Structure 1
Amino acid sequence: MRIQHLYIICVLLFTCCVQQIGMAQQQHHKKQLVQGIVLDHLRKPLEGATVFIENSPIYAVTDSKGSFKLYLKEGKHSLSCSFVGFTKQVIEIEVSAQTPSISFNLVLDKSTSLDEVEVSAKSLLQNVKESAYNVVAIDAQQMANTTADLADVLETASGVKIRRTGGVGSNASISLNGFSGRHVKIFMDGMPMQGFGSAFQINNIPVNLAERIEIYKGVVPIELGADALGGAINIVTNNKPQTNVDASYSYGSFNTHKSNVNVNYTGKSGFTFRLNAFQNYSDNNYKVKTYLLNLDTGVYSDEPQWFKRFHDRYHNETVIAKVGFVNKSWADLFLIGGTLGNEDNQVQNSALMKIAFGGVERNAKTRMATMQYRKKNVFIKHLDITANANYSSVKNNSLDTLARQYNWAGDYKTKSSSGEAAYTLSEFNNTSSTARFNAVYNPSKKHHFSLNNTWSKFVRNSDNATEVLDNTSSSASLDKISIKNVLGAAYNYRPNDIWNVSAFGKYYYVDVTGPVNVNGNDDPNHASYELYSTNYNVEGYGATASYLLAKDLQLKGSYEKTYRLPSQNELFGDELIEAGDASLKAEHSNNINANITYQRTFAKKHDFFITTGFIYRNTQDYIRRVIEERYGGAYYTNHGKVKTIGFDAELQYVFNKRLVIGGNATYQSVTNREKYTTNNTIALNYEDRMPNVPYLFGNGQVSYQLLNVFHNKKNRLQFQYNLNYTHEFFRYWESYGSSNSKITIPTQLSHDFSATLSLKNGMYNISLETQNFTNELLYDNYSLQKPGRSFAIKLRYYFIKTN
């Protein structure tokens, strides 16, 4: 059965089943209906009061009319009612078929100040922000009603720039603190995502799957087991024991369809089941402005023209199912699960916009098994452990067999040799295994010890070695194996709420076997590969500190000597456009971070949040992705020394929790510090900024929320405006070429707008949005163009029952 059919069946089956469970659960094992009303001291209905059975988990919350309903077994019960600021009231009742309506009349609690009752507690987001690490925590659920994917959410944070190669489903790489692509590690619930497969990545995962996103700038906690220079992204999903259904569908420009269903069920016994399913489809037939190739003469037009993309369809679907238990004596959380994913992707162009394809395709099928275990107070008090493991098999197919050359008008001519890019009909399988163990010991509030070990193995096999008939794929039959292990230990000392410090050490081990192009990567038509093997180990260390100058003012600082091990794509390529190099060295860097944050509430209606940060990176053996200008391919190389100095700032103002005005700006200068060439002469590009890296960009946001829409307190209407700015930057080395031949990515300014209507406290939602509504010409990696003006509508249903 194809994955599309399985996706639809799973969504329909589990949506129906869990909705029935959620709706019928109150009727299971309950005999008689008990209903009533709760009134305050002025005899007015009291909304939000809790009515419950003493020494029992059975409860109900009153609605806007003060009414409540409970299903209880026949017999005597102690029925209680409580509300903040009022004295608790208990009524003895006897439930039978003729139980009369119950009425609670609550009286004021004189020991409580009733001018204002304020309940405060630190949220998970706040706890993350107050840690010693320079971390930004984004509440992903605030964007749950939009058509955003996880990449869109990340771009709202300061210091973060998402680089896309096109429309829906296109490759999305993260630029953080001047480091981009694989310099930044991405995790989901603490597990590396590198083996998850292309059908399950930040460019296609809907925002509804995440609860929050943690962005670590600089030092990364050892709990993540990361080898990262520029920082790390940790996507945290919803692991709360609750029953809910979150279903949505959206339709937008360029025939774009997105749907998503999240189903969670947790019973009183602790049994839990979770299903996440989503799909994305788009023709991506937006217009681009580029040069037309004359197929007869091989000459490009002098001026760019507008063309409609004709070979860029994208389709993916993914189903994730987990089953297990929570809150048991032997485990706080134990889940086993499986992921099935499918991705079909037409490739419209190479890494350069001039070259258009009409028959190049790739697809991938992901199969992954997962395990999660978490337990507090193991063996001794205050010793907590977490263990995660996954195994994935991703079968990839690359198709490039047409003996044609296309231009952007869709015209083509027949060639003497087959293949538009690399002539391949290859099928290869990526298998990834990852195991992560984390132990935390807190003997007191002042001391915190942690130990983490993350092991991973990647293997690529060519199941169908239909050799490419030129040399670009002659490495297909050679072994490709990468083994990594990162061991970390840390100690945190927190004598009080004013300051805390943390010190840590990491031990990295890597073992690589793979092909190396002995002729170099400059000319892919004359490649010759040999098998290469190496293994090595390195050590890193660092420290972080946090200090509260005042209640609302916090300082943070960190230093780290860290390593970043080459990724699987950098080592082995992608078997189509990118070439790998198994001999790449690990990057290493000395990093310094400093951050100051001010957060204050005035007159109980005005909230201010200001943060600014400084970064410094001195990197050796920097791994750079190089575009081969003639053929449009790409390869990786150890560039040498690179220095990064950057600043970022974020400001947000909230009035009465209804009006939000905010923005962020980032400046990051990533410069070449490799002074001499191989001929021992001073390099022309010495102290140039690294090419194709934005150095000045920012975002702005204004949102306003209308309450009591249609005269109903449970309805709200929200309007939001976003501004995105990227300053001009060089596509290639700024010192190369004449002033007329230097190519830049121009300054870009785009605007987005959305309106969302939420009914019945967010149970029913409808959103209308437009992106780039001024239809600006937007570029990204090496002049690759992103879509112009687009519109979308999204319908979302959300049902929740907390257990």
Structure 2
Amino acid sequence: MKNFLIFSLLVFAIHSTCAQHAMASISGRVVSEDGKVMADTYVYLENTSYYVETNEIGKYRLQVPVGNYTLISVSMGFVKETFAISLYENQEIIHDFVMVADKNMILDEVRLQGKSKIQKVRETAYNVVALDAKGHYNTTTDLSSLLEKASGVKVRSTGGVGSDASISLNGFTGKHVKVFIDGVPMSGLGSAFQINNIALNIADRIEVYKGVVPIELGSDALGGAINIITNQNSNTYLDASYSYGSFNTHKSNINLGYTAASGFTSRLNVFQNYSDNSYKVKTNLLDLETNSYSKEEHWFKRFHDRYRNETAIAKVGIVNKTWADKFLFGVTIGQENADIQNANLMKIVYGGKERESSSVIPSFEYNKANLFTQGLKLSIMANYSQVRNKNRDTLARQYNWLGDYRNKTSKGEGQYSLGKFENNNGTIISNLSYRINPKHHFALNNTFSAFERKSSDAVANSETSSEADNFKRANSKNVLGASYTVAPYRQWNTSLFGKYYSVNVTGPIDISNTTTPEYEEGSRSFNSSGYGLATSYLFRNELQLKVSFEKTYRLPTTNELFGDEVLETGDASLKAEHSQNINFNMSYNYSFNQNHSLYADVGFIYRNIQDYIRRQIEQRYGGAFYTNHGQVQNVGVDIETRYYYKDNFSAGANLTYQNIRNMERYSSTGQEVIYFKDRMPNVPYFFGNLDADYNIKKLWGEGNSLSIGYASQYIHEFFRQWESEGAANSKKIIPTQWSHDISLTYSIKNGTYNISLEAKNITNEMLFDNYSLQKPGRSFAVKLRYFINNNSNN
């Protein structure tokens, strides 16, 4: 209630101020001379602080005091357009701009759009990188593969299609890095809608925040954040694709939208994934008679790893009205079915264990710029997810990698399970911002989320549940943030911000002082605050320096608190992590001869974390659990460089080094540990990427093109466990990995028809991300895509 009053008072105060002036409005649309809509074009009144950017269909609207003005529209690569107007009280003027290409600045469309996005990123004080997804729509690249093109980012998966995936950003992995979709946390959306299975064509771009995260995301992230921006296109369009690949992998996607002149809009995105994941792995073989594992590793084909999921996302509503830029209701429906081939240790194999889930997620979105007065913007997003899970482990068998088994006296290959559980999660995100003029900007954000897990099948659960399993599991948290951004000069801007965290957790807590757990239901609350700043200075439009500092908290996630009911065990007594973070970034962007562009970026990071939440693997059964480790420190650097030649050729490379070490000298019993100042185990510390693309225009016809792509990834060897433990010849190491991918894409009629051929891991390297969990070897795929877009229906 207090947060709502703050928002209401601010809106009332601003509205009362603007009501004292006689106002008028100007609106219209900006298109190019060939009729294409022009988004992100600046429209402003000369010699005033009133300005706006056009939306995704080229529309703009300004509310200004009465008077005589010159209205101006500007966009990179086009001649500036002007229009003289006289405004009277309550008058509404409509004026459309037709932009003419600047003959002295000829750039093709793709390069022009890319440059504009890079420029917008550079002008922010936050260390953020924007990855354009549209250039990969014709390939079988998924969201996780695209993310790895950013320096400092490593996506760690546990296997093939549909396997669990976690993001490592600047040395912090898993739950330390928050993932959002259009500013909404993805943690409560269910396993059928995550980065490991979402179709890439749903995304317009991906924003990677390294370090400080803007308050608009309402985040308690520690190592950074990933924000997937979906296609906000309000045009009428159809995008359909299908791909087939190795291991009987099928992926399909249909993405369509319709917007009428009245402002009514509807969007539908349906995607599907299926794979047998029948690739070969190299691991130890269990002798079922002696119950011992072979010393040597052998090759085996995965025989119980089928995965499929289907998801549909529908939205309907109104856009581009005086009372709302966007007013949408939506629903996401998804289902998933997955065999579980192995535990968190590859040698422990299953033959009948599986999981399934279904999700229903209604949502609401409201957005209005220039609410009551110029510069005031309000956005509200809300969703409620109901995710039903069923985990089945009933066979009284023990399997080995040959598919043979022996009978057991007890049910369950791992832990006997037949129960059904329901995860309910609600989220409300409110953003209110006021740009007084181009130099001063205020913002408020409030993000509230609530989670509850409960049994949905008491009869089935009664067979396998303990008393602790019936305890309530609930978690609610609220993050309130405020920021002030000042830009005294075009080259310099600074953001100051503060956050207030509140959390309440109810769940089973182990009260035993022995190795035998004893649980009771308990509740606890946590409140704290954080703060920070981010500043940026641009030298001669080419060299930019960014510095940021933050004191922040990361609240435990629901999986860390309560587990996943499959292979992970939670701990409801986990403490929140807290950290002091410093980032320094230097970037250089230079174009010469109108044909060549060079971009380079160097970033330095420092993190000092207390109560670090560490994921560990239990060695006997291969389960995972979470603990508060203590103090962890990270000092790292990432480097990225990229070169462009017209729209014909591009090449880039990035390297990341991160020195994340244990700074906890003593154990919980007070004894000094031998791994003090060791690198944190099972975390890559030196890795990089290399990629290149060559485009041939007008091949076999006007509007046709051929693209040839190459990508490579390098990961240096790292320890699976503490490097100071064990004899030198017995230390477990994840070896150095270097993989190579190639692709070939042919587009016809300006991208209406497309076909792509791809080969991944062409040298068939053994690839690992987590412990001994091997990823697929060499694979091939073909993708067909059809795309039409009508951007002149409004």
2:533 aligned residue (520, 523, 543): 543
Deviations 1:143-166 (A, max 9, x none): 111112211111111000010000
Residue 365 (1) aligns with residue 355 (2): no
Query: Which residue of the partner structure matches residue 50 of structure 1?
Result: 34
Query: Which residue of the partner structure matches residue 310 of structure 1?
Result: 303
Query: Which residue of the partner structure matches residue 779 of structure 1?
Result: 768
1:171-570 alignment, distance < 5 Å: 171-465=164-458, 466-467=460-461, 474-519=467-512, 526-570=516-560
Amino acid at match of 1:182: K
Larger Cα-atom Rg:
1
Query: Which residue of the partner structure matches residue 666 of structure 2?
Result: 676
Amino acid at match of 1:671: R
Deviations 1:536-592 (A, max 9, x none): 101000000000122200000000000000000000001121110111000000000
Deviates more, 1:474-483 or 1:266-275: 474-483
Amino acid at match of 1:577: L
Query: Which residue of the partner structure matches residue 713 of structure 1?
Result: 702
Contact 2:545 2:586 in 1 (8 A): yes
Distance 1:701 1:499 in 2: 33
Query: Which residue of the partner structure matches residue 75 of structure 1?
Result: none
Q: Per-residue deviation at 1:780?
A: 1.6
Query: Which residue of the partner structure matches residue 650 of structure 1?
Result: 640
Q: Per-residue deviation at 1:660?
A: 1.0
TM-score (norm 2): 0.86
Root-mean-square deviation (Å): 2.1
Structure 1 residues not aligned, in runs of 5+: 1-47, 53-82, 88-108
2:713 aligned residue (717, 724, 728): 724
Amino acid at match of 1:764: Y
Q: Per-residue deviation at 1:657?
A: 2.0
Contact 1:331 1:374 in 2 (8 A): yes
Distance 1:565 1:594 in 2: 25
Deviations 1:392-433 (A, max 9, x none): 100000000100000011000000111111111110000000
Query: Which residue of the partner structure matches residue 755 of structure 2?
Result: 766
Contact 1:422 1:577 in 2 (8 A): no
Contact 1:424 1:468 in 2 (8 A): no
Deviations 1:615-654 (A, max 9, x none): 0000000000010011110110000000011100101011
Distance 1:299 1:377 in 2: 70
Deviates more, 1:460-469 or 1:532-541: 460-469
Query: Which residue of the partner structure matches residue 744 of structure 1?
Result: 733
Deviations 1:714-759 (A, max 9, x none): 0100000100110000000111111121100000000000000011
TM-score (norm 1): 0.85
Distance change in 2, residues 1:113/1:541 (3 Å): closer
Residue 755 (1) aligns with residue 744 (2): yes
Query: Which residue of the partner structure matches residue 44 of structure 1?
Result: none
Amino acid at match of 1:800: N
Distance 2:615 2:102 in 1: 63
Q: Per-residue deviation at 1:129?
A: 3.4
**Partner of 1:291: helix, strand, or coil?**
strand
Amino acid at match of 1:692: N
Q: Per-residue deviation at 1:613?
A: 0.1
Contact 1:324 1:334 in 2 (8 A): yes
Residue 701 (1) aligns with residue 691 (2): yes
**Partner of 1:570: helix, strand, or coil?**
helix
Q: Per-residue deviation at 1:329?
A: 1.3
Q: Per-residue deviation at 1:679?
A: 3.3
**Partner of 1:204: helix, strand, or coil?**
coil
Distance change in 2, residues 1:435/1:727 (3 Å): same
Query: Which residue of the partner structure matches residue 579 of structure 1?
Result: 569
Equivalent residue pairs, number = 699
Distance 2:344 2:296 in 1: 20
**Partner of 1:640: helix, strand, or coil?**
coil
**Partner of 1:303: helix, strand, or coil?**
strand
Contact 1:596 1:612 in 2 (8 A): yes
Distance change in 2, residues 1:116/1:476 (3 Å): closer
Contact 1:566 1:585 in 2 (8 A): yes
Query: Which residue of the partner structure matches residue 791 of structure 1?
Result: 780
Distance 2:138 2:418 in 1: 41
Amino acid at match of 1:186: V
Amino acid at match of 1:444: N
Query: Which residue of the partner structure matches residue 631 of structure 1?
Result: 621
Q: Per-residue deviation at 1:529?
A: 2.5
Distance change in 2, residues 1:246/1:125 (3 Å): farther
Deviations 1:10-51 (A, max 9, x none): xxxxxxxxxxxxxxxxxxxxxxxxxxxxxxxxxxxxxx9637
Distance 1:488 1:556 in 2: 22
Structure 2 residues not aligned, in runs of 5+: 1-31, 37-76, 82-99
4+ residue stretches of structure 1 with deviation over 6 A? 83-87, 118-122, 468-471
Distance 2:660 2:462 in 1: 38
Distance 1:464 1:520 in 2: 33
Query: Which residue of the partner structure matches residue 98 of structure 1?
Result: none
Contact 2:511 2:518 in 1 (8 A): yes
